[in-house]
């Protein structure tokens, strides 16, 4: 009678250790896919937000009016809008004091934007280390399950009166499924980590460029008066 060599049958007949390895890898794979989909949406939203806000920013809109609009929806802000709100808010607050040197105004604004940018990048990088860990360790975890299963197959073969390939083939097949599951978990995680890591780096560079360009604008405005209600928006 030909043994059932389907994936489900191989899993059901595997040893406890091999089953535990495969279940662990399947859990890691499902968690990875959840983070992959979530991170893809987050990065897409950040990119679209940056395009939309920079379009408004460079359209010639009055910065004070733009700050008021942005400040009213502060809790909803992401990306470049957060940098602008942090930088111009600090600039307006210190400018209202009237005794702060223009150079210190610009420096404080630049520092506030840097802090905001770091927080935004940290949020975008959230869960990427998990994908890196799954991508780098899953093949080895699967290999451990395979080695354990093959070891058990040959140990059982040692006590048999007559050794045949048909005796060890199911056991080896069960063990090799663990390696396949490890690769199934690792490959998408590695691809997603590399892709999203590159996307986050591009967004971080985009934030840096905006900070430097906005700082240059603030340097030109540092000697000019702001509307009286700008700092109270």
Residue-level pLDDT at 116: 92
Number of independent structural domains in the chain: 1
**Alpha-carbon torsion, ordered 20, 23, 28, 32, to 10 deg:** 170
What separation in angstroms does the CA of 103 have from each of 28, 95, 116, 219?
A: 51, 11, 20, 8
Residue-level pLDDT at 147: 85
| Residue 111 resides in a domain | yes
Residue-level pLDDT at 192: 95
State the DSSP code for 21: H
Going by C-alpha positions, the residue among 50, 212, 28, 217 that lies closest to residue 121 is: 50
The structure tokens 């560079």 sit at 205
Residue-level pLDDT at 232: 47
| Residue 74 resides in a domain | yes
The structure tokens 């399947």 sit at 26
| Residue 158 resides in a domain | yes
Give the rounded distance of the alpha carbon of 191 from its chain centre: 12
**Residue-averaged pLDDT of the chain:** 82
Q: Which domain holds residue 128?
A: 7-232
Which residues does the chain have with pLDDT short of 50?
1-2, 232-233
| Residue 223 resides in a domain | yes
Give the rounded distance of the alpha carbon of 120 from its chain centre: 12
| Residue 1 resides in a domain | no
Residue-level pLDDT at 164: 58
For residue 154, report the phi and psi dihedrals to the nearest 5 degrees.
-75, -30
| Residue 189 resides in a domain | yes
The structure tokens 């890691």 sit at 28
Residue-level pLDDT at 152: 73
As a whole number of angstroms, the distance between CA 67 and CA 96 comes to 15
As a whole number of angstroms, the distance between CA 178 and CA 140 comes to 10
| Residue 2 resides in a domain | no
| Residue 184 resides in a domain | yes
């Amino acid at each position: 009678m030909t043994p059932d060599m389907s994936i489900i049958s191989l899993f059901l007949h595997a040893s406890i250790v091999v089953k535990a390895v495969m279940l662990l890898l399947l859990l890691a794979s499902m968690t990875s896919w959840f983070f992959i989909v979530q991170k893809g949406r987050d990065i897409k939203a950040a990119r679209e937000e940056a395009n939309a806000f920079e379009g408004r920013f460079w359209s010639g809109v009055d910065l004070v009016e733009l700050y008021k609009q942005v400040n009213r929806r502060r809790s909803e802000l992401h990306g470049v809008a957060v940098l602008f709100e942090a930088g111009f808010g600090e600039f307006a607050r210190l400018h209202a004091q009237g005794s702060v040197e223009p150079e210190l105004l610009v420096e404080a604004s630049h520092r506030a934007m840097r802090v905001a940018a770091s927080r935004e990048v940290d949020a975008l990088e959230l869960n990427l280390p998990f994908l890196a860990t799954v991508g780098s360790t899953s093949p080895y975890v699967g290999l451990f399950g395979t080695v354990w299963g093959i070891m058990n197959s040959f140990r059982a073969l040692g006590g048999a009166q007559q050794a045949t390939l048909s005796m060890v083939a199911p056991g080896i097949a069960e063990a090799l499924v663990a390696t396949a599951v490890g690769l199934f978990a690792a490959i998408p995680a590695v691809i997603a980590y590399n892709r999203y890591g590159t996307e986050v780096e591009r967004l971080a560079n985009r934030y840096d460029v905006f900070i430097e360009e906005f700082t240059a604008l603030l340097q030109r405005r540092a000697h000019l008066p702001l509307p009286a209600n700008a700092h109270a928006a």
